Amino acid sequence: MESVGSEKLFGAWKLGGILYDTGEVLMPKSGQLYWFILKEDLVEAEGGMHHMIKGAAYCNWAEGWFDYTKTGDINITFICSRLVCGISTEFCAAMSTSYRYVFRNGRLILSFEYPTIEISPNKGKIILKPFEP
C-alpha cells in the first residue's frame, strides 16, 4: 500500500538500494552505510526557510535542506563532500534530483531524474528503510 504525508517523512532513513528505470540496481555493500535524517528544524538558505537534512554517504558527510508537500512533492538540496567511495556519487546525485516521495510497506521511496540525458541511466527510485543512527 502506498501513501504520502509528513507524519512518517521526518526521521532517519538508510539506503536499501537505487533502482534505475533501466532495471539496473545499485545496492550498498556490507559495511557501507548511506543515511540521512529529515528534520523538522528550519534553516535559512537560498532566500527562504527550509527543513534541514543531515547524513552521510559512506565515506562522505552530507547536509542540506528540503521542502515537501503533503501530496508527495519533494525538493532536496543534498550537499556531499567529494570523496569517491562505494556508490556515494550515485547516491548523492539521486538524492539531489529527487522530486517525488511515497511510502510503501514502511519504506520511503524517492523518485529522481537527472537534469540531463547525457548520464545513463538517468532516472529511477531510491529505496530507503527506517534507521536508528
The pLDDT, as a whole number, for residue 122 is: 83
For residue 126, give the amino acid letter.
I
Element (H, E) at 99: strand 98-104
State the pLDDT at residue 119.
66
Residue segments in the chain with a per-residue pLDDT below the cut of 70 = 1, 6-7, 117-120
Q: Which domains does the chain have, with CATH numbers?
A: 2-130 (2.40.128.270)
Distance of CA 60 to the CA centre of its chain: 14
**pLDDT of 84-96, one tens digit each?**
899 999 999 999 9
Q: Which three cell numbers stand for residue 4?
A: 504520502
What pTM did the predictor assign?
Answer: 0.91
State the first-to-last Cα distance of the chain, in angstroms, to the nearest integer. Answer: 27
Hey, what amino acid is at 58? Y
Query: The C-alpha cell of 121 is what?
Result: 541511466
Q: What local confidence, expressed as pLDDT, does residue 118 receive?
A: 67
pLDDT of residue 8: 87
